[in-house]
Structure 1
Amino acid sequence: MTKLRATRRALLALAAALPAPALAQAFPDRPIRFVIPWPPGGTNDIVGRLVSDGMAARLGQPIVIENRGGAGGALGAEVVAKATPDGYTMLLGGSGSLTINQLVRRRLPYDPATAFAPIGMIGSGANVIVVHPSVRATNLRELQAIARTASPPLNYASPGVGSTGHAAGALITQVLGVEMEHVPYRGTGPAMNDVVAGRIQVFTNALAPMQPQIAAGNVRPLAIAGTRRNAAIPDLPTTGEAGFPDIQAATWYALLATGGTPPDRVARLHAALGATIADPEIRRKLEDGGIDVEPSESPAAFAAFVRGDHERWAPVVRRAGVSIE
C-alpha cells in the first residue's frame, strides 16, 4: 500500500508541475456525441458525417453520430442544450434549426440565448429552386405566371415547419406575389421523394440532395437563390439574373456545444473543425456538394453571424405569418 500511495503522490506532483496548456490537451479523452437534428439522407447528414470523420482523426477520439430529427430541428437541439456542458456533446446547427425555428416557434424547450456555445461555421450553400417536370416552367417568370392562375394553388415542400426550406418557400411566394400551399415533411429525403413522385410541384433546398434528381431529369432546376452561380451546376442562373434579386436563401451549417462549455474546450473543437475543413479532400467533397466552405475566424465571430442571420429572416417570417404554438 505504501508503494501505491507513493506512486499516486508522484503522479499528482507530475500533474501539478505540468503547465496549463499541457493539461488542456487531455480533452477529449473519450468519444464525443454528435447530434444531427435531421433524419439521415439530407445535406445536414452528409455534411455532418464528412466533418465528424475529419474531426475525429484530429481529436484522436471517435465521434458518434446520433440523428435526432423532428420539430424542425428542435428535438435534436434540445438534446444538446440539456447535455452536460463539458464539450462531449456537439450539435450540427444550421439556418433552419437555429434561426428559422426560433422565429416560428413560440415555445422552445430551451433558451436560445444561453442554450448553446458557438464553435464555428462549416459553410453554406445557396438553395436551388426546382419544380416537378409536370410544371411547365423553365424559369421563375414562367413559374410566377403559372402560379398566379393555378387552381388549386401549387404546393411547395419543406423539410419541416421552421426549416430554411419553409422560410425560403414563404419568401418565394412573397416576392413572386403568388399563393402556394406549404406541405411540411420530416426531413429532406421524404420531401424529395414526393417531389420526384409528382405529389409536390415546387421545392427549395440545398443542392447536394438535389443533384442526382436533377441529373436524372426527375426535377427541373429554375434558379439558385444566391448572389453567384454554383460551380457544381454552373449553367443554372441566379435568382438575380432571373429578375428576382430579393429571393436570397442559403442553408448554412455549423457546430455548437452545450451552453456553458469551458472556453478552452470550445477553442479545441474550433481548431479541430478549422483543420478539418481546410483539408483539401474534405473541402473538395463539400464543394462538390454545393457547399461554399466558410470557416469562422473565432467562436465569437460565428456568434455574431448567427445574430445577423436572425435579423435578416425575422421580417420574412413575420410577413408570412408563420408561427407554431
Structure 2
Amino acid sequence: MQRRALLAGLLAAPAVARAEGPFPDRPIRLVIPWPPGGTNDIVGRLVSEGMAARLGQPVVIENRGGAGGMLGAEVVAKATPDGYTLVLGGSGSLTITSLVQARVPYDVATAFAPIGLMGVGPNVITVHPSVAARNLRELQAVARAAPVPLSYASPGVGSTGHAAGAMIAQALDVPMEHIPYRGTGPALNDLIAGRVQVFTNALAPLQPHIRSGAARALAIAGRQRSSAMPELPTTGEQGFPQIEAATWFGLLATGGTAPERIARLHAALNAALEDAEIRRRLLEGGLEVEPSASPEEFTRFFAEDRARWAPVVQRAGMRVD
C-alpha cells in the first residue's frame, strides 16, 4: 500500500513541476477590445512587441470590437486565469462602459487582475473644417445658431468619447446629437468625410489629420497642454475647466491570476515602457507614459477612475438598457 502511494507520488511529481514551470512557456493573447486603426490598437501593438522581446514569447493581438469594448473585455473576464489571456483596458472599455451598460456580463471590480498602467493621453476636441469654429467659444456660438443640433462621433456607446461629448454639450450648454461607431477608425473616417461635425478622442489617430487639415483641433481636454501639440490651448485656458477627459491605457489579466504571474507581466510591461524607442513613439502619438510602480498601485488607480466618472455618466443620463 505504501509502495503504491510512493509510486503514485513519484509519477505525479513531473506534472507538478510542469505546472509550476517558467512563465510564460507559450504565446500570450492580448485582446484589444476595439477594431484596428484606433489609439488602443496603436498602443497595444507597440507595447506588445516590447513585452514579447522581454518575455521570450510572442504576444498575439486579437481585435475584438463591439459594445463599447465590452465584448472583448468579456473574453478576458471569462478566460482561464493563467496569465495567458490579457486585455488592453482603458477608461472607455472598462470604466465608462461598466457605468453606462445596464447589463454587464462580468463584475468589473473582480473579473480582472490589473497588471499595470501604460500611460494617459488627454483627449483633443476636433471638428470638421466646414464648422466655422477655431475655439470652444466659437463652437458654442455655431451650435447655438445651428438649425439642428451638431452631431458628435464616438468610438461606441460607453466610450470615453461618448462621455466627453456629453460633457462638452453640458459645459457649452448646447444640444448635440451622439453618433456611436464601432471604434475610433470608423468614427474618424466619418469626421473627415463631414458626416459628423465633432469628434473628441485621444491624440494619436487624430494628429496626422489635424496636420493635414482634414480635421481642426480646438482644444486639449485636460489640465495641461500636450507635449505632442504644445501650441493647442487647453479647455481650461479657454474658459471651460469642467471639460476634462483623459484616456488611459493599461494591461489587465483575468481575475484570479496568480500574483507571481501578474508580477512577471508587470515587470515585462514596465521594461518595455522604459525602452527609449517605444517611449518616443508613444509620446509622439500624444500619450504621456506613466507606468505604475506596482500592480497594486494600478488597482487603486482603476478604482479611483471609476469613482470619478460615475457622477459624469449619471448627470449625462448615459444609460443603455
Range of TM-score over shorter length: over 0.9
- 8 Å CA contact 1:99–1:309 kept in 2: the answer is yes
Change (3 A) 1:140 1:24: farther
* Residues 1:38 and 2:34 aligned together: yes
1:41-80 matched pairs, under 5 angstroms:
41-80=37-76
- SS state at 2:203 partner: coil
Pick from 103, 108, 111 the counterpart of residue 104 of structure 2.
Answer: 108
- SS state at 1:69 partner: coil
Deviations 1:52-87 (A, max 9, x none): 000000000011110000000000000000100000
Q: CA deviation at 1:149?
A: 2.0
Partner in structure 2 of residue 238 of structure 1 = 234
Task: Tell me the distance in 1 between the aligned counterparts of 2:228 and 2:52.
Answer: 28
- Larger CA deviation: 303-312 vs 153-162: 303-312
* Residues 1:127 and 2:123 aligned together: yes
Question: 1:107 is matched by which residue type in structure 2?
Answer: R
* Residues 1:154 and 2:150 aligned together: yes
Partner in structure 1 of residue 287 of structure 2 = 291
Pick from 138, 144, 158 the counterpart of residue 142 of structure 1.
Answer: 138
- 8 Å CA contact 1:24–1:264 kept in 2: the answer is no
Pick from 88, 92, 100 the counterpart of residue 88 of structure 2.
Answer: 92
Aligned residues: 312
Partner in structure 2 of residue 272 of structure 1 = 268
- SS state at 1:146 partner: helix
Task: Tell me the distance in 2 between the aligned counterparts of 1:24 and 1:212.
Answer: 47
Partner in structure 1 of residue 6 of structure 2 = none
- Larger CA deviation: 144-153 vs 76-85: 144-153
Task: Tell me the distance in 1 between the aligned counterparts of 2:109 and 2:149.
Answer: 38
Q: CA deviation at 1:321?
A: 0.6
- SS state at 1:174 partner: helix
- 8 Å CA contact 1:102–1:108 kept in 2: the answer is yes
- SS state at 2:225 partner: coil
Partner in structure 2 of residue 6 of structure 1 = none
Pick from 302, 310, 315 the counterpart of residue 314 of structure 1.
Answer: 310
Partner in structure 2 of residue 167 of structure 1 = 163
Task: Tell me the distance in 2 between the aligned counterparts of 1:113 and 1:226.
Answer: 26
Task: Tell me the distance in 2 between the aligned counterparts of 1:281 and 1:41.
Answer: 21
Question: 1:180 is matched by which residue type in structure 2?
Answer: M
Question: 1:129 is matched by which residue type in structure 2?
Answer: I
Task: Tell me the distance in 1 between the aligned counterparts of 2:105 and 2:254.
Answer: 14
- Larger CA deviation: 180-189 vs 303-312: 303-312
- 8 Å CA contact 1:165–1:205 kept in 2: the answer is yes
1:219-234 matched pairs, under 5 angstroms:
219-234=215-230
* RMSD over equivalenced CA pairs, Å: 1.8
Change (3 A) 1:254 1:35: same
Question: 1:128 is matched by which residue type in structure 2?
Answer: V
- 8 Å CA contact 1:223–1:238 kept in 2: the answer is yes
Q: CA deviation at 1:51?
A: 0.7
- Structure 2 stretches lacking a partner, 5+ long: 1-9
Partner in structure 2 of residue 217 of structure 1 = 213
Partner in structure 1 of residue 79 of structure 2 = 83
Task: Tell me the distance in 2 between the aligned counterparts of 1:322 and 1:249.
Answer: 16
- SS state at 2:213 partner: coil
- SS state at 1:53 partner: helix
Question: 2:214 is matched by which residue type in structure 1?
Answer: N
Deviations 1:7-34 (A, max 9, x none): xx79x69x98xxxxxx967000000011
Question: 1:279 is matched by which residue type in structure 2?
Answer: D
Deviations 1:123-161 (A, max 9, x none): 010000001111100100110111112111101000000
Task: Tell me the distance in 1 between the aligned counterparts of 2:216 and 2:93.
Answer: 27
Question: 1:79 is matched by which residue type in structure 2?
Answer: V
Deviations 1:214-243 (A, max 9, x none): 011011100001111112111100111111
Q: CA deviation at 1:297?
A: 1.1
- Structure 1 stretches lacking a partner, 5+ long: 1-8, 17-22
Deviations 1:268-311 (A, max 9, x none): 00010010101111011100100000111111111111111111
The normalised TM-score by structure 2 is 0.94
- SS state at 2:132 partner: coil
Task: Tell me the distance in 1 between the aligned counterparts of 2:99 and 2:48.
Answer: 28
Question: 2:309 is matched by which residue type in structure 1?
Answer: W
Pick from 184, 191, 197 the counterpart of residue 187 of structure 2.
Answer: 191
